[in-house]
Amino acid sequence: MGFDYIENHRYLRFPLWILYLFPPEYKEQDIIDRCDTLSFQKATSRPKFASHVSRWDHLGIRRDMCNGLSVIGKVDCDGLFMNNNDDLKMKYKNNKHIYLQNYRFNICPENSDYDGYVTEKIFQAIDAGCIPVYYGSNNNPEPEILNHDPIFFWSNKNHNNGLIKEIKHLNNSPEAFKEFMMQPRLKPDAAEIIIDFLKKFEDKLIQILNEK
């Protein structure tokens, strides 16, 4: 099991973000309802601009992203990396979901950048109703599940002036922000694909137990 796309009968692609959003006890209807909630977020009023939570900057991209967006407004960094705020720990007792609900944007790049490597970070941003500013998975994360239109993708080649300009516009215009947030976050078949992920996982476990 892993993130990679590997064709091998002994391997199953099962990205970890699935378990963050869909507990093992979920039935099919629970998954469908959860996807509907994720996909159609309300453009609620949020007091703060952007947040970032991480421990380190392995790729050297996180500092660029935080500094790049800081020309628009204060970027609160509540992890060990670039720490300038302690609300996540002190005010929200490390409840990241409630903490993120204060922010319009969440800077959520991956630790590594390769095809298929998608962790919970972008989904946590979406779940909390933030607009993700993302880098990773060749900037093509879960293309069968995520609608990429309401996601901002950071370039590691310093071609981000247009992106920063658009984020600034959304941040300064409540109407533009509301319109942007009306886009569905997930693809129409997302629930069906996730159900298939979990079914294959269950079948693989049964197969292993039977072989033992």
**In the prediction, which pLDDT does 45 show?**
87
Using CA atoms, how far residue 132 sits from 19, 65, 151, 156, 168, in Å, is 20, 12, 5, 16, 14
**In the prediction, which pLDDT does 130 show?**
97
Which stretches in the chain have pLDDT values below 70?
212
**In the prediction, which pLDDT does 16 show?**
87
> Which pLDDT tens digit goes with each residue over 25-72?
999 999 999 999 999 988 888 999 999 999 999 889 999 999 999 999
**In the prediction, which pLDDT does 209 show?**
85
**In the prediction, which pLDDT does 144 show?**
97
**In the prediction, which pLDDT does 43 show?**
81
Residue 47 burial (10 A CB sphere; 0-12, 13-18, 19+): exposed
| All structural domains of the chain | 43-183 (3.40.50.11660)
First and final C-alpha spacing in the chain: 18
**In the prediction, which pLDDT does 104 show?**
98
Give pTM, 2 decimals: 0.94
